[in-house]
Amino acid sequence: QQQVKQSPQSLIVQKGGISIINCAYENTAFDYFPWYQQFPGKGPALLIAIRPDVSEKKEGRFTISFNKSAKQFSLHIMDSQPGDSATYFCAASRAGKSTFGDGTTLTVKP
């Protein structure tokens, strides 16, 4: 049973556009929702994270929107750049145990 569903699987955006990646979770006990960015041949690195008592968090061009009642959260990348081309994973965590989405491969065309 997949507890975190991520969409889309791949995304192509023009430079300067907005990239949106969505995730849905099932377990209401999750208490930490991070997004990780992974470049080829590298380990994932934390991009931005949110806890369920907040509906939105913004760090630079990256924003997480969190809808607790719908059990959904999303990553918005504003003014997308070619350097943002990578694989993005959402995750939901409880007591340190993280369940990851299957990832979204983002390509930003110049």
Q: Kindly list the residues in this chain that would bind other proteins in the complex (CB under 8 A).
A: 6, 31-32, 34, 36, 41-46, 49, 89, 91, 93-103
User: Rounded to the nearest whole angstrom, what is the least distance from the CB of residue 76 to other proteins in the complex?
Assistant: 20
User: Rounded to the nearest whole angstrom, what is the least distance from the CB of residue 18 to other proteins in the complex?
Assistant: 23
- Residue nearer to other proteins on the CB measure, 71 or 102: 102
Residue 52 Ramachandran class (φ > 0 left, ψ -120 to 50 alpha, else beta): alpha
| Under 8 Å between Cβ of 97 and 27 | no
CA distances from 38 to 16, 35, 84 (A): 21, 10, 10
User: Rounded to the nearest whole angstrom, what is the least distance from the CB of residue 82 to other proteins in the complex?
Assistant: 23
- Partners of residue 8 on adjacent β-strands: none
- Residue nearer to other proteins on the CB measure, 36 or 73: 36
